[in-house]
């Protein structure tokens, strides 16, 4: 018997997009069931992340039109990552594996067939990798290339051109619970889980309606957070730089003292003293930002974390 699949689709202010894309998800799931790739208990799970518009009502209407489309309504907006996690944890109690996607269908849903085949080959993680970016403007392509380049240089573990389109087995989803008390960037965390994994390439299409919830400011903040949280190189560079600059500061201070006692002015060493102190302080500042970011995210995860489910349209039943 085929395994049970849940598509997990986070939604925030998507009342314009859902009437266009929800039927596509349902048709795809029906095709997968008909092909025998997934069981009849499979579902498309839409997660309403506290949207202020009629997104939840739209999800309910889709469920009324087809029971394969179900939804959960979160009490408050908690961000895309937490909405994804809420849906994934909900699905893991009912499914053998999940596929996460954005509801705008910019990622190619037809790649799901190949992902599922890779899953049956023994992979717990199948990461969608964008082979092309469709009609994205040049500025967005440049920003994306710079983002993934920085992730690679800073050794975050993020697979290049991977975002939210991925397949995860139930045990891979359950392994994410180990990250709940600490901050993480979900694509990087998924990329580094210690399970068999592979990638599937797919094209990126234009958004059919509505507007992206991300702008360059939020994407820059996301990039900084990902580096501060996941980089294996950043703390080493900060420590090494701070130590070297502190050593230069101490050496400059000693030499300045020696020249001063001898009555010799040596302004160059005063410059070294100042520069070394400034660079050393910068290194420690980077370390402080890194540690503070970890602490702030940990506090946030403990105080808020994943929003509770306020309502649901239907349930295929827990395992």
pLDDT digits (tens, 9 = 90+) for 158-187: 676 677 899 999 999 998 876 654 546 778
pLDDT in tens, 200-215: 988 776 655 555 555 5
How far, in Å, CA of 279 to CA of 45, rounded?
Answer: 51
In this predicted structure, the answer to whether residue 225 has a pLDDT above a threshold of 90 is no
Answer whether residue 151 is part of any domain: no
> According to the per-residue pLDDT averaged within each range, which of 41-45, 127-131, 213-217, 299-303 is highest?
41-45
- For residue 50, what is the domain's CATH number? 3.90.550.10
Work out the burial of residue 39: count CB atoms within 10 Å of its CB; fewer than 13 is exposed, 13-18 middle, 19 or more buried.
middle
DSSP designation for 204:
B
Task: Specify if 317 maps to a domain.
Answer: no
Q: What is the pLDDT of residue 177?
A: 75
Looking at per-residue pLDDT, the higher value among 128 and 319 belongs to: 128
98 and 243 in a single domain? The answer is no
Q: Is residue 228 part of a domain?
A: no
| DSSP code, position 294 | H
Instruction: Indicate whether 255 and 205 sit together in one domain.
Output: no
**Per-residue pLDDT at 313:** 82
Query: Is there a domain that residue 34 lies in?
Result: yes
Kindly state whether residues 206 and 59 are assigned to the same domain: yes
Statement to judge: residues 12 and 71 lie in one domain: yes
Per-residue model confidence (pLDDT) at position 299: 45
- pLDDT tens sequence across 230-258: 655 555 566 666 666 666 666 666 766 66
- Please give the helix or strand (H or E) that residue 119 lies within, else none: helix 112-120
The residue that leads in pLDDT, 309 or 44, is 44
Taking 50 as the threshold, does the pLDDT of residue 301 lie above it? Answer: no
Q: Are residues 198 and 109 in the same domain?
A: yes
Shared domain for 181 and 276, answered yes or no, is no
| Residue 87: burial class (beta carbons within 10 Å; 0-12, 13-18, 19+) | buried
Q: Are 242 and 172 in a shared domain?
A: no
Q: Decide if 165 is inside a domain.
A: yes
Examine residue 226 and state whether it is found in any structural domain, yes or no: no
Residue 300 is predicted with a pLDDT of: 45
Q: Residue 153 falls within a domain, yes or no? A: no
pLDDT of 183: 47
> Going by DSSP bridges, is the β-strand pair 125-132/197-203 parallel, antiparallel, or unpaired?
parallel
Q: What pLDDT, on the 0 to 100 scale, is given for residue 180?
A: 54
Task: Give the model confidence (pLDDT) of 66-110 as tens digits.
Answer: 999 999 999 888 888 888 989 999 999 999 999 999 998 888 999
205 and 92 together in one domain = yes
Task: Give the whole-angstrom CA distance, residue 78 versus residue 257.
Answer: 56
Backbone angles phi, psi at 245, to 5 degrees: -70, -35
pLDDT of residue 171: 94
One domain for residues 90 and 189: yes
- Answer with the residue of higher pLDDT: 131 or 255: 131
- From CA 196, how far away is CA 175, in angstroms rounded? 13
Number of domains the chain is built from: 2
Residue 303's pLDDT is what? 44
- For 163, the domain range is 5-142+158-213
Residue 309 within any structural domain of the chain? no
- Confidence bin at 189 (pLDDT 50/70/90): confident
Same domain, 71 and 132: yes
Pairing of strands 309-312, 197-203: unpaired
To the nearest whole number, what is the mean pLDDT of the chain? Answer: 77
pLDDT of residue 163: 76
**257 and 205 within one domain:** no
pLDDT at 15 over 60: yes
Question: Could you tell me if 101 and 44 lie in one domain?
Answer: yes
- Find the mean pLDDT for residues 46-59: 94
- What is the pTM for the complete model shown? 0.71
Rounded Cα gap, residues 74 and 207, in angstroms: 24
Burial class (CB in 10 A: 0-12, 13-18, 19+), 193: buried
Q: Which residues, 6 or more positions from 113, have their beta carbon under 8 angstroms from its beta carbon?
A: 32, 35, 37
Q: Using an 8 Å Cβ cutoff, are 3 and 40 in contact?
A: no
């Amino acid at each position: 018997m085929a395994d049970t699949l849940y598509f997990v689709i986070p939604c925030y202010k998507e009342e314009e997009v859902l009437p266009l894309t929800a039927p596509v998800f349902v048709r795809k799931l029906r095709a997968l069931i008909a092909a025998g790739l997934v069981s009849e208990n499979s579902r498309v799970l839409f997660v309403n992340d506290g949207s202020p518009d009629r997104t939840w009502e739209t999800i309910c209407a889709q469920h009324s039109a087809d029971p394969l489309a179900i939804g959960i309504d979160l009490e408050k907006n908690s961000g895309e990552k937490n909405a994804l996690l809420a849906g994934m944890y909900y699905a893991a109690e009912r499914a053998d594996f999940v596929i996460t996607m954005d509801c705008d269908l910019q990622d190619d849903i037809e790649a799901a067939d190949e992902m599922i085949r890779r899953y049956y080959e023994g992979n717990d993680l199948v990461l969608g990798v964008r082979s092309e970016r469709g009609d994205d403007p040049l500025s967005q392509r440049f920003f994306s290339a710079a983002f993934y380049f920085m992730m690679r240089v800073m050794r975050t573990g993020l697979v290049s051109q991977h975002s939210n389109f991925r397949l995860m087995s139930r045990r891979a989803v359950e392994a994410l619970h180990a990250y709940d008390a600490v901050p993480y960037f979900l694509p990087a965390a998924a990329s580094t889980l210690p399970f068999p994994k592979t990638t599937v390439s797919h094209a990126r299409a234009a958004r059919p309606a509505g507007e992206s919830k991300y702008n360059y400011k939020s994407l820059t903040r996301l990039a900084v957070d990902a580096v501060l949280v996941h980089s294996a190189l950043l703390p080493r560079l900060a420590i090494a730089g701070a130590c070297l600059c502190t050593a230069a500061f101490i050496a400059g201070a000693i030499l300045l003292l020696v020249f001063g006692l001898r009555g010799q002015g040596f302004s160059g060493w005063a410059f070294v003293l100042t520069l070394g102190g400034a660079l050393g302080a910068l290194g420690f500042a980077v370390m402080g930002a890194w540690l503070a970011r970890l602490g702030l995210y940990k506090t946030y995860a403990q105080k808020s974390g994943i929003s509770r489910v306020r309502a649901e349209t239907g349930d295929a039943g827990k395992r």
